[in-house]
Amino acid sequence: MTALLDVAGLRAGYGSKQILFDVDIKVSEGEVVGVIGHNGAGKSTTLRAIFGMLAPQRGKVVFAGRDVTGATCRNNVIAGMSLIPSERFVFADQTVRENLLLGCLYERSHAERSRRMAMVQELFPVLSERQTQQAGTLSGGQQRMLALGISLMANPRLLLLDEPSLGIAPALATTVFDTLKQLTAEHKLSVLIVEQNVAQLLRIVDRVYVMRSGRLVLEESAREMQARDSYWELF
C-alpha cells in the first residue's frame, strides 16, 4: 500500500533534552496504526513533531507525497492532517456547535460546511442534541466525541490521536473505539493512535509500534500482538 505518512529518522526534544531518537513510522492509505509504550517513552512527542507543534531536530516527515517537516499546524490541517491531543481537546467556553465550526475554519464553501456538520451530527447524535451547550459542561466521554467531531469537520485524510481513552469510563472508551473503527471502514480514514489501553487498541489497528525511551523497538501486526500472553514485558 502507498504510504500516506512516511516518517524517517525523526529526532526531537525540548531545549537541550532529546526525546526522540531516529523514529521511523509509516501509515498507509486507510490504515490504522498504534503506538504503545511506557509513560514518558516519547509517544506524544512523536505526534507533536509530526503535526508541527514541535520542530524536529533531524529527520523527515512526508505526508501525501510532500515533505512537511517543520510545517506549521495550520498548513498541515489544510493539507489533510488533524490531531486530537490527550488533554484540552475542546474549547470549554464555546458551545458544541461553535466548537464544530472551528474544525472547518479553512473551508469556504457553506454547502460543504453544512455537509460535514450533518455527517458529524449523524455520527454523534448527542452532539446534535446539545448544540447550544457549552463544551466544558459535557461529560468526559461526550467531550471526546466532540473532539472527534471537530477533527472530522476538517475533512482529514490522517487523524493523529493521543490517548482517546484517557479519563473516560471503560464503556465510553469502547464507544469511542467503535466509532473510530466505523470511520476507518466507511471513510477510508488513516489513523495514527497513541494509547495505553492495549486491549482496546488491538480491536481497531492493523499494526502496532512499541516505543521505549524515545526509540521504536518493535513493530508487529495486530494479530501478532494479540497472540502474546502479556504486553508488559514490551514496556
> Does residue 9 lie in a domain region?
yes
> Does residue 55 lie in a domain region?
yes
> Does residue 83 lie in a domain region?
yes
Is it the case that residue 84 has pLDDT exceeding 70?
A: yes
Total domains present in the chain: 1
> Does residue 137 lie in a domain region?
no
Cell representation of residue 122 = 449523524
Residue 179: per-residue pLDDT: 85
Residue matched to cell numbers 460543504? 112
Residue 170: per-residue pLDDT: 84
Is it the case that residue 5 has pLDDT exceeding 80?
A: yes
> Does residue 169 lie in a domain region?
yes
Angle CA(201)–CA(177)–CA(155) in degrees, nearest 5? 110
**Closest among 71, 64, 121 to 96, alpha carbons compared:** 121
Instruction: Give residue 23's pLDDT band: very low, low, confident or very high (50, 70, 90).
Output: very high
Q: Does pTM top 0.85 for this prediction? A: yes
Is it the case that residue 44 has pLDDT exceeding 90?
A: yes
> Does residue 95 lie in a domain region?
no
CATH assignment of the domain containing 227: 3.40.50.300
> Does residue 129 lie in a domain region?
no
Residue 188: per-residue pLDDT: 82
> Does residue 179 lie in a domain region?
yes
For residues 171 and 14, the model is more confident at 14
Instruction: Give residue 1's pLDDT band: very low, low, confident or very high (50, 70, 90).
Output: low
Find the domain containing 194 and state its range: 3-88+159-234
